[in-house]
Amino acid sequence: MEASRSQGLERAAEAQSESPKLGEGAQQAGSLRVRLEGSVLTVDRALLEQCSEYFRALFRSGMRESQEEELHLKGGVHARGFLIALAVCRGEKLSLQDPEELIEAVECAAFLQVASLSQHLCDIIDSDNCLLLYHAAAIFGLPNLFHCAALFLCDAYSDLKGEASTLPEELVLYAESLSPASFVALGTHSPSMELLKDSFRTVCYLDEVEGEWRHLTDLPTHASTSMAGIAVLDNRLYVVGGIYGYGKGTVDGGFCYDPGTSTWSVLPGPQQPRADFTLLGHEGKLYAIGGEHQKRTMSSAEAYDVARGEWAFVQSAPRPVAAVACAIARRRMFVCFWRPPDTTDIYEYIPAKDKWMLATTMIRPQSYGHCMVAHRDNLYVMRNGPSDDFLRCLMDRYNISTRQWTAIPGSYINTKGALFTAMVRGDSVFTVKHMLTLEYTIAEDTWKPRRETKKGFPKSGSLWTCLLRLPKAGL
């Protein structure tokens, strides 16, 4: 702990020694000397104005302090917290673990109103720091972090209930008042005729108390989940595209389910008709990647801006793909491209740059089926094997921070594709197939079976799964 503080102050001291003294010549153009805790840092004014509401207001105020070459920050900001804020503002992905380091980061984000730091703290919430960040956000007044930490606590409450008892009562009550993410599943269906009223076109949620799958809603008559794109964005379920009829025509359009109102609405389909594509929801947009149209596999990609209700093409995928696995880790988008027979390339799509970057390549034989999920800063890639054993699933883990692969020991019973429906909530993974529903606990180097529900999903065909927060009255 003290070592981390010393390192931070050493960095501050280095910044001071490398910058000119106030009386030794002109101040660096566009820079500001910031004095705090006995250290002085020379910082780019433009960076401060861009990332901090505090500095933005100061620089535009016209007050005398806005024109000075040196500013003394007092109370509420420590040197280490300020250095963390600067690093995050520059785009660095920091892994913050020390409790004092986390608290000082929260202090700085609140005092200097650094939205990017507040968001970064939301991104790194896990079961180890959830309670600390939740309490600190309540004390220093960071509503976004407060709510995100409360939601995580709500989802992982069965694991953290004992430790949560140390929190102020009002914080515990607030977390308990929220709805946890529910495991939701839907089968594969083509559009049906209005007169048929297909009773099997249902979306179900898992009642974890009773171990039963219960009816949530019915799919719209013209919706197809056959080779469709399905994703969740801002707690809404989207079903886009898909195929219909014996000719496998492409459905033009999409549907959105809002669990808060239990209603469906329609949305336009992608500009390029596509089926068997990947749909990923991220920061207010739906991303449609690859897919097929008229028996041709495509590399084109589009983004749907939910607020504007418009699709627009983005940078095409690195190569033509259909139904590729994808996951979001630490608010970063990763897509898994498999090249038979043994090569798996994982690319990151960076929306701000509209650019695809190769993150890593894994060489594993017999990797002819894929699923990918994210937990903390790890990507877990599940694949069928070995050889022709369809009931066995092997797993590898890629850490996006260290950029290291780890083979997870042993193999997992796939139960006809169950692991390929994996969804992560807190430190748990939910999987389902027609015969059973299984929950795993993610441990350091393995997934440990935690709870098994003998009843699988009650509908035939392939499955789609997701997580939705449902109103408590509807559960």
Distance CA 233, CA 187 (A): 20
DSSP-H helix ranges across 97-223: 99-111, 115-123, 130-140, 143-155, 157-164, 169-177
pLDDT at 113 over 90: yes
Of the pLDDT bands very low, low, confident and very high (cuts 50, 70, 90), residue 122 is: very high
Q: For residue 32, what are its two tokens?
A: 């500001």
Q: What would the pLDDT profile of 58-96 be if each residue is shown by its tens digit?
A: 888 877 766 778 888 877 789 999 999 999 999 998 889
Give me the amino acid identity at 270.
Answer: P
Q: What is the pLDDT of residues 215-248, one digit of tens each?
A: 999 999 888 888 999 999 999 999 999 888 776 7
Q: In 318-462, at which residue ranges do the beta strands (DSSP E only) sit?
A: 325-329, 332-339, 343-350, 355-363, 371-375, 378-384, 392-399, 404-407, 412-413, 423-425, 428-432, 437-442, 447-453
pTM: 0.87
Q: What is the pLDDT of residue 9?
A: 36
Q: What is the pLDDT of residues 34-48, one digit of tens each?
A: 988 888 889 999 999
Task: Assess whether pLDDT exceeds 60 at residue 10.
Answer: no
Chain mean pLDDT for the chain: 86
Residues 344-356 have a mean pLDDT of 96
Say which DSSP state 117 is in.
H
Residue 17 confidence (pLDDT): 37
Task: Say how many C-beta atoms besides its own lie within 10 A of residue 254's C-beta.
Answer: 26
Q: Judge whether residue 105 has pLDDT over 90.
A: yes
Q: Which residue has the higher pLDDT, 194 or 318?
A: 318
Q: How far apart are CA 177 and CA 159, in angstroms?
A: 17
Q: Is 203 exposed, middle or buried (0-12, 13-18, 19+ CB in 10 A)?
A: buried
Average pLDDT, integer, range 344-371? 88
Residue 9 CB coordination number (10 Å)? 17
pLDDT band of residue 21 (cuts 50, 70, 90) is very low
Does residue 7 carry a pLDDT above 60?
Answer: no
CB 9 within 8 A of CB 23: no
In this structure, the chain runs to a length of 475
For 304-313, the pLDDT digits (tens) are 999 999 999 9
Measured CA to CA in angstroms, residue 225 lies from 20, 148, 386 at distances of 64, 31, 30
State the amino acid at position 372 in one-letter form.
M
In 3D space, the residue among 157, 159, 156, 133 whose CA is nearest the CA of residue 146 turns out to be 133
User: Beta 70-72 vs 31-36: how paired, if at all?
Assistant: parallel
Positions of E strands within 365-427: 371-375, 378-384, 392-399, 404-407, 412-413, 423-425
Residue 280 has pLDDT above 80, yes or no: yes
- Give the model confidence (pLDDT) of 361-390 as tens digits: 998 876 566 789 999 999 999 887 655 555
pLDDT at 192: 56
Residue 357 pLDDT exceeds 70: yes
pLDDT of residue 456: 83
Of residues 284 and 2, which shows the higher confidence score? 284
Quote the pLDDT of residue 360.
97
Using pLDDT thresholds of 50, 70 and 90, give the confidence band for residue 348: very high
- % of the chain beyond a pLDDT of 90: 60
For residues 311 and 270, the answer to whether their CB atoms sit within 8 Å is yes
Tokens of 441: 């606990």
Handedness of CA 344, 349, 354, 355 (dihedral sign): negative
Q: Any idea what the Cα angle at residue 433 is, between residues 389 and 469, rounded to 5°? A: 135
| Domains of the chain, start order | 2-177 (3.30.710.10), 182-474 (2.120.10.80)
pLDDT for res 469: 97
Residue 317 confidence (pLDDT) above 90 = yes
> For residue 475, which amino acid is it?
L
